[in-house]
Structures are given as C-alpha cells and as structure tokens.
Structure 1
C-alpha cells in the first residue's frame, strides 16, 4: 500500500548572495535568483532500512535535509524523466512531527556516499509507451487525453477554483504532474525564467509587481510570455511512473499577454516592497484541464488564516540549495513544493527592524525554519492555504522578498497580503 504524506518539507531554493562579511541583507526573490513507500512512522528516531534502485546495499530513511546524495541528485541542472522517476522511487516513510504534520523522508546511502546511478528507466511496457508519447510530442500530434472545459460555458469559478482534479493526498517534496495546476512560469525575452505566478481565472495571472517592473525585469529584456501546465522545463513530455501506470502530462502551454497591471502604489525602488502585486492579462482565454486550473482568491468577510499554528504551502521552480555556495543564478528545472508556518506580525516586525526594514500593514510573514524557505525564482508564486471547509486552495499571499540566505532559522520571508488587494484585483479582472 502506498502511503503519501500530505505535509511536505524541502530544501527548496537557497540562492541569494551573501556578503563575505556574513552580513545578511534582504532582496526580492526575483533579483540577483524496489518502491520504498512505507506507512507513516511515529516519532521514533530509529533508522529504518530501505532499498535504493540500482544498488544492492540497503539504505536508510533520512529527512531530505540530512541526505546530501538526494539533494545533489535532485538539484542537477538537467533532470530527465528517468531521473525524476528515480527521485520518486527513493521516497520512503514519513516521520510524524505531531498529530497533523508528517515529514517526508528519502532512502539515503548508509555510507554517506552519492547514489551510484540516480536514474531509473520506466518498466519495459511503460518505457515503450513513454517512447510513443515522446514521438507524438515531437510530431506535435499528441491528442489531449482529457476533456477540456470552456470556462465561459460550463465552469463555475467560485465553486470550482482551487480544486485539483485528483483526490489523492500527495507526498514527497517534488510536486506531482497535476499538483497546483494554477502555477505559471514567467518567461522573459532573455529566454530566462525567474518568477512564478498563479492563474486566477481563464485570462489573468496574479504575480508580484517586481516580477514585471524594475531593474531585474529590464535586465531580462522584459516579459515575453506566460507558461502554464509546466512541470519539468527541461523535458517534453513530462511523465512519472505511478505504481500501475505511466502518467504523462499534456504539453505545457505558452501564452502571450495583452497588458500588465502593476498596483498604482508600488514603488520599484522601495526596500520594503509595499504593494508588491501585479496582474497580467493573457492575450487569450485558456481552457481548463487536469494541468491548468485557477486558484481561488480570498472572499471578503472570510476568516483570516493568518494566525499562530497555521501552515501554508508554496510551490515553484526556485533556485536550489546546492548552488548557494557557488553564488550561481540557477533554478530548479522541476516544480518543487514545501510547507511553511505563519509567523506572527510582532515577531516578524522585530526581526525585520534589526535590518532597518519596516513590515507594512498589507504584508505578512511565513517560514523562518532552518533549510525551509522560498527563494529566488519563487517570486510571484502564491502563498497557498488549503480551505478545509470548502476543500479548495486559496491564494492568500504573493512571494515578495526574503533574506539573502534562504532557509535561515528565525528569518521568515515576506509576502504581499492578497486579501488587502481584492477590490483592486477584481477591478483589473473586470476591466473597470
């Protein structure tokens, strides 16, 4: 039986420059950015043996941050479908942190060495299908395998936004193919990507203002297009071998844009990045699929989830921890995810004040756990909260800025509070 952890951890994206004198400064996230699944174990610290594909010696289940072999394999510049297949297979048990939190673990070489061969071909039957799908993609004749939904005809945005087609509870710290289908990649005229966003209806992307205006954007020669339905930027098609079938995503969709709306009170030169929010209007409406769906926005009057003990999720293609020591601007090619806790306003205000930074009334903080944080390349991505009452995901924030060294204990990242901008967002979306 395959048990999937719901709460995720990840050394997602460590990458901002750190001065040689170890001073910490703040920057926006976009600027210089055999199967081993075992049912969740209790809080026991006893190491559990597990099997590593392509190796005869048993490994041990460790937390992601304690297995350098795993993080090195995951952080490779180019990750093929077979490498993703390997990374999924080395996920093992989950450690229970408390009654509601499960920490995913991976099968790590017991000798502390690297994996011998961190790649795993699909099974014989599925490999033939993978080759067929790949050939179809190359001929650009792949028939969409699911029925698309015309949002103008039969999609109730209020009721269906924030829903993932599958009801599976996901595990691991690599996102699934159809997980968070509202995530968008912003691609620039330099043919680089450095920010994320979220689809909020069939025509609009919510992102951070600094992702579409400012020095970093000018260096990349301006925004070129929006990519939806992406998983691995280095492969097409994107396929993952499930326990009993090969799961392949539709081709990613590249869409141009008509207009960019930056909040009128945003100042690109401000250190505190107040009003760091923008909306991109696509050049055409998109059809919704398993892999392209909008996320919900907060409703006026909803109870705020920004309170002690609440957990949020972030996902994106941020730079990874491996490259921090080299100070190189490299992003993860695959969609990653993590869970981070809300950080109280008083606590965050005190932390930022030490660096001469003011926390605005329309900004919130989350993260601040060692080796768990958003980082460069995750700018503009939604700070997501799962609304259990309606079983849907809601974008309550937009990744704005954080410390030059991500994943520092006691140093949370700052997010634009979307609930404070609902009227402005709706006015942009409605064209009023």
Structure 2
C-alpha cells in the first residue's frame, strides 16, 4: 500500500511537460493497484481487508455489522458506501468496553422501532429454565397470502384444541413444560395442546422418507393456565398467557418438537425495521378458507405511532408491537391468535456468534373485518419482551 502511494505521488509531482502521460499513468496504474492489492485493516487485533458490506460474507447477514462497520484503517481505501474490515474467519464475540453516551431528544416524540433483548429484572431461575434447551434451531434459510411451511421448519409452533377438537388458537413451546399464547385464548373449552403438527388432515406426515407424528398433551390439572395479572380483555391489554402441560416434553424422543428462544441473554441483537419477522400458524386464509398445512408469512416492524393513530381506543405502549404485512403480503386471520412472531437473531455460544429463531411477539389485535385482504394498515401484536419478567417468574410455578 505504501508502495502504491509512493509511486502515485512521485508521478504526480513529475515535470509538467509530461502532464498527459502522468494523468494516464495515475488513472490506470493506481486503479489497477487498488483492484489487485486489497487495502488491509485490523479489527479486534485481527487482520482483514477493506470491502463493501455487501461483499463481505462474514458480516453482511448480521446485525453486528452496524456496530463494527467503521474502521479507521479503511478511511483511505477509496471505496464508497458502507465499508467494513472484512475477516474470513469465524467471528468471535468481543464485548465493548467503552462506555456508551446517551443523548436526549428534544424534538417531537417518535416511538422507536427497535426492540432490544431484555436484560434486567428477570428471575435467574426462570432464565435457567428458558436457556436449558437447544432453542430456535434454524432448519431452512393463518396467514393470508402466506406459503406452506416446510415440514419441521418451525418445531415450536403449538395448536390449541377446544371443544370438538377444533383448533382456534396457536401458541409456542418455550420450555419442556410451558406453552406461550394469548390470554384471550384461555377459555373453559380449551382441552388439549397439539405439538409437532404439520398437516392437519393426516396423522403421520412424511417428506423425503422423513416421517413425524403429532403429540397431544393435556392441561396440568393442578396448575390452571396463567394469564398476565394486568390483562384487560376489553382492551386486549397484556394479552399474554402461559399453559402448563400435564407432562414433560421429551425433546430427545421427539426430535421434531423443540422450543423457540425468547429475547433474553445470551441474545445480543435487537430487532430492526429491516428484519424479516416470521408468523406461523393454521389460521384461516383469505376469503375465510380453512388451512390444512402450517402456514408462514413475512412481517415487518413499524413505528408504534402508526398503530397509536389507527387504534386510538386502545392503550398503545411498549407492551405492543406495530406489525406490517411484509414481502409476501402476509396478514394474520382468525385462528392465528396466540401464534408466535419470531425472527433470526444472534446468540453467543462458547464465545462464537450463532443465529437462532427468537420469538418477539404473538398475535393479539392481529386481525379484523378485512381478514385476508391486502392492506397497508399495520396490526397490533403483543410484545413478548415487555412480559419477560412475568414469564421468568411464572414458569417456576
């Protein structure tokens, strides 16, 4: 690199008699050198090369890129755009040691669209239960206008069965004994919870020689479903509940059944508006058509201000998520209540950064009269992060 600048500057300072030759030499030689010899840099005491973020395989699909993209070594690389110090080796997690400074906005209040993991006020014993299993495993890189999920793609999605064994709500596995769902799904008619389901019309589902069967669980007779103490049914406020199963889930025996992660340590990445949020359930499709196969749809996080305007009769605070239809115009419908909303987040495992599916919300005020119709208006979902303190205490009962 020093050789490049020495030659280029030496030529540039040559006699003006050869100014045209100098100009051509600088343009072609320096550009050729830039393309052939990468501009080296150092990040966390490791050598890398300066590249555009979209060309760096180790960083372009991670939220941490936003934190590490500026590197002083790359300031004179000549690249334009988001330039990073790209390292090909597997990334280790290096916590920041410099204190963060905060500024207070004095402009018009604008609700943030970033949802960060909860780190304070959580019961340590409850955290241990939530982190005790291999949660949120990613298998592949009634949701109107959704697509069929791959068999076993989301092994934490639960189906709540009521009188006449009708599936009217969904839920998610968070431990080997507890299901997370919406409070308005807790009714006297609730009878059983079905796990490991994919296609409702068949008892045994098989794809490419791999077969799985659903498992049904009852409700613990000694522990009624727990509804959040601040739940208000008319306002759908704190619309979140826990169901304790009548027996423990044997994850080793039923490998197609697994829990989802919750936004707690060791998760390190927040949810951003650019993230794809996934909703999975068996709710009605467009035109109130029933669903046979588990559906999945892509959603996006919106500013709370939008939902605050649309849902003026409801209390809109940090316990809510404002969710917009995403890439495949997915919206939730009747039967999706309690279904999990999750995304690919980053976790620390043995000092390495891995990706896991993490539940950020669940369907609450997620459908209306226009169920199944394409709409530009967002819906309000329950923010799981806001209830983690209650969850980490309630699962100890």
Does TM-score exceed 0.5, indicating one fold? yes
Distance 1:309 1:202, change over 3 A: same
**Is the CA contact (8 Å cut-off) linking 2:298 and 2:329 kept in structure 1?**
no
**Which residue of 271, 278, 294 corresponds with 1:313?**
278
**Which residue of 315, 329, 332 corresponds with 1:374?**
332
Q: Secondary structure at the match of 2:170?
A: strand
Deviations 1:153-172 (A, max 9, x none): xx9945621114x4x43xx9
- Displacement of 1:262 in angstroms is 0.4
- Displacement of 1:247 in angstroms is 2.8
1:340-419 residue pairs with structure 2 within 5 A?
Answer: 340-353=299-312, 356-368=313-325, 371-388=329-346, 389-402=353-366, 403-406=368-371, 407-419=373-385
Deviations 1:299-358 (A, max 9, x none): 1695673432222000010101143xxxxxx531210001111111122222323xx344
1:165-204 residue pairs with structure 2 within 5 A?
Answer: 166=139, 168-169=140-141, 173-204=147-178
**Is the CA contact (8 Å cut-off) linking 1:331 and 1:377 kept in structure 2?**
no
1:235-246 residue pairs with structure 2 within 5 A?
Answer: 235-240=202-207, 245-246=208-209
Q: Secondary structure at the match of 2:247?
A: coil
Separation in 1 of the partners of 2:274 and 2:265?
22
**Is the CA contact (8 Å cut-off) linking 1:307 and 1:344 kept in structure 2?**
no
Higher Rg: 2
2:234 is aligned with 1:269: yes
Structure 1 match to 2:246:
283
Structure 2 match to 1:424:
390
Where relative contact order (Cα < 8 A, 6+ residues apart) is larger, the structure is: 1
**Is the CA contact (8 Å cut-off) linking 1:317 and 1:378 kept in structure 2?**
yes
- Displacement of 1:189 in angstroms is 2.2
2:255 is aligned with 1:298: no
Separation in 2 of the partners of 1:277 and 1:156?
17
TM-score (norm 2): 0.59
Distance 1:187 1:351, change over 3 A: same
Distance 1:263 1:384, change over 3 A: same
TM-score (norm 1): 0.55
Distance 1:429 1:226, change over 3 A: same
Number of residue pairs the alignment of both structures matches = 253
Q: Secondary structure at the match of 1:160?
A: coil
Deviations 1:200-239 (A, max 9, x none): 0100000000011xxxx4xxx5110100000011112112
